[in-house]
Amino acid sequence: MNAHVPVTSHASRIQRVISPGGIEAWLVEDYTVPLIALEFAMEGGASQDPQGRAGLANMLASVIDEGAGPYDSAAFHERLDEFAIELHFRADRDQFTGQLKTLTKHRAEAFDMLRLAINEPRFDTEPVERVRAQIVAGLRQEMNDPDSMAGRAFFATAFAGHPYANPVRGTLETMPTITRDDLVAMRQACFARDRLKIGVVGAIDAKTLGFALDETFGALPANAKLNAIPLIVPHGTGMRELIDLDIPQSSVRFGAPGLLRTDPDWVAAVVVNHVLGGGVFSSRLFREVREKRGLAYSVYSQLVPFNHAGLYIGGTSTKNERVKESLDIIGAEIASLAKDGPNEDELSTAKKYLIGSYALRFDTSTKLADQLVRLQVEELGMDYMDRRNGLVAAVTREDATRTAKRLFGEGQFLATIVGRPAGL
């Protein structure tokens, strides 16, 4: 006789913690190991870069831990090393994010270092110029990297006239123009409590966390001062944009408007994209472009749910003489999905993979903390981790066919090619 094994609810483990000062965080207590992982996000990011200052948000995220409060850059990092504290910041197009990982016994020191970084960054000349030089060196390398060139050109065309058109890391022209005053102004505008989402996992109780939240984030302004970013439908569907570069193999980016994360068909779109190019070995593009014809080593597609735009984007690299053939095959598969949707076998394979792999998104404290933040940012609710696989399982072939038609339309897409492709 088989004993019934109860299924653990992920939502039942999540606590909504409200600090004495009113700061909210989602907490999963876990005393398996004496570690605490904290992740936070604040709306802003590169979409808030001022005109002519592309790369400002990325630079802010890169220098904010290069000295703060009484510690210059060297002393700040020495203190992180002394207490084995991991502290990282980054900026994408829509958000600033931060990640803290610490041993429980160093909790006070770790939260204090995070507090200093977000509230009292020094922006001293030496580390700012050092980080600027590192970013510029990376940009110079990207100038001759066909994959980077294709990605930048694709976004510049797809989002022309919109903040998303600007590269997150900036350009060789804009990076020298960014001043210390720019860094100070962006931090003051974007770092605030009203757009703050926090996830915490580890050996800490709700009461202790509540006091730590106030000590760490309580001094931030109540409200951010963000520029309004308009919704945009990506441009260029049906265009082929060619950037000449004398290389034997072309890099290709392709894509078109996608769905917003709030769209009712979002889960069905995830399944459809997996069938097209999201499945590493089971997707149509992998099968038709790589396995059957050997045109490319890698080919993929993905959905990108920006705050202010929906996008699906894909990429590949192939010999110049086979670019046209590759694009024709990609276009044929997109058009076929738009017309008929996936077949039952494709649908079943995609759903099984998406359901089975979902647990890998929270198999470590850091990943789980990140998921807690994502649930808040996307307003999915605490029970989403329990509901999500059921939503995937419920996608029918009718749902997938309807969504494929919405997603891919007439099968047209913008393609940006860097190289010297024959026949285009």
pLDDT of residue 149: 97
Query: What pLDDT sits at residue 282?
Result: 86
Residue 311 β-bridge partners? 257, 304
Q: Burial, 22: exposed, middle or buried (Cβ in 10 Å; 0-12, 13-18, 19+)?
A: exposed
Question: 140 with 46, same domain?
Answer: yes
Residue 339 placed within a domain: yes
Helix axis angle for 125-142 and 180-190, nearest 10°, is: 90
Let me know if residue 131 belongs to a domain. Answer: yes
Q: Give the pLDDT confidence of 276-304 residue by residue, as tens digits.
A: 999 778 899 999 998 889 888 899 999 99
| Domain co-membership, 171 together with 27 | yes
Distant-in-sequence, close-in-space partners of 3: CB < 8 Å, separation ≥ 6: none
Q: Is the domain of 60 the same as that of 201? A: yes
pLDDT exceeding 70 applies to what percent of the chain? 98
Please tell me whether residues 299 and 201 are part of one structural domain: no
Whether residue 100 is found in the same domain as residue 200: yes
8 pLDDT tier (thresholds 50, 70, 90): low
SS3 category, 255: strand
Is residue 160 within 8 Å of 9, Cβ to Cβ?
A: no
In a domain, 159, yes or no: yes
Cβ-Cβ contacts under 8 Å for 367 (sequence gap 6 or more): 360, 361
**Does position 70 have pLDDT exceeding 70, yes or no?**
yes
CA dist., res. 151 & res. 332, Å (int): 22
The predicted-structure confidence for 221-252, as pLDDT tens digits, reads as follows: 999 999 999 999 999 999 999 999 999 999 99
Residue 227 lies in a domain: no
> Where in the sequence is the domain holding 395, given as residue range(s)?
240-419
235 within some domain = no
* Pick from 123-132, 291-300, 317-326, 381-390: least confident: 291-300
- CATH number, domain with residue 246: 3.30.830.10
Same domain? For 266 and 203 the reply is no
Query: What residues contact residue 155 under an 8 Å CB cut-off, 6+ apart?
Result: 164, 165, 167
pLDDT at 424: 79
The mean pLDDT of 316-344, rounded to a whole number, is 95
Is residue 325 located within the same domain as residue 413? yes
Q: What is the mean pLDDT of residues 71-77?
A: 98
Contact indicator for 45, 90 with CB cutoff of 8 Å: no
Mean of pLDDT values over 246-271: 96
> DSSP states of 2-64 as a string?
PPP-PPPPSGGGEEEEE-TTS-EEEEEE--SSSEEEEEEEEE-GGGGPPTT-TTHHHHHHHHT
Give the pTM. 0.93
Is 327 found in the same domain as 278? yes
What's the rounded Cα separation, in Å, for the pair 64 and 121? 6
Query: What are the residues facing 27 on neighbouring strands?
Result: 15, 200
What pLDDT shows up at residue 11?
A: 82
Is 224 part of any domain?
A: no
Mean pLDDT, the chain, rounded, equals: 95
d(C-alpha 125, C-alpha 332), whole Å:
54
Q: 134 and 99 share a domain?
A: yes
State the average pLDDT over residues 123-145. 97
CA-to-CA separations, 57 to 96, 231, 268, in angstroms, rounded:
8, 20, 33
Please determine, for residue 7, whether its predicted confidence score (pLDDT) is greater than 80. no
251 and 131 in one domain? no
CA angle (388, 199, 193) in 5-degree steps: 120
**What are 162-182's pLDDT values in tens digits?**
999 999 999 999 999 999 999
Residue 143 lies in a domain: yes
Q: Say yes or no to pLDDT of 18 above 50.
A: yes
- The one-character DSSP state at 259 is -
Does residue 307 sit in the same domain as residue 211? no
pLDDT higher than threshold 90 for residue 88:
yes
Q: How confident is the model at residue 205 (pLDDT cuts 50, 70, 90)?
A: very high
Q: Is residue 232 part of a domain?
A: no
Q: Read off the amino acid at residue 397.
A: R
Asked if 185 and 360 touch (Cβ cutoff 8 Å), the reply is no
Q: For the chain, report the end-to-end CA distance as a whole number of angstroms.
A: 67
Residue 3 has pLDDT above 70, yes or no: no
Q: What is the pLDDT of residue 120?
A: 98
The per-residue pLDDT for 317 is: 95
Last residue of a domain, one of 153, 185, 217: 217
Alpha carbon distances (Å) from 368 to 18, 36, 39, 104, 319 = 19, 11, 9, 17, 41
- Cα dist from 270 to 113, 261, 264, whole Å: 39, 10, 12
Summarised one tens digit per residue, pLDDT across range 340-380 is 999 999 999 999 999 999 999 999 999 999 999 999 999 99
Domain count, the chain: 2
- Rounded Cα–Cα distance for residues 171 and 109 (Å): 37
pLDDT number for residue 281: 82
The string of DSSP codes covering 179-222 is: -HHHHHHHHHHH--STTEEEEEEES--HHHHHHHHHHHHTTS-S
274 and 400 housed in the same domain:
yes
Q: Please report, for residues 21, 96, 194, 271, the alpha-carbon distance to residue 191 in angstroms, rounded to integers and kept in the order given.
A: 17, 9, 9, 36
Say whether pLDDT at 2 is over 70. no
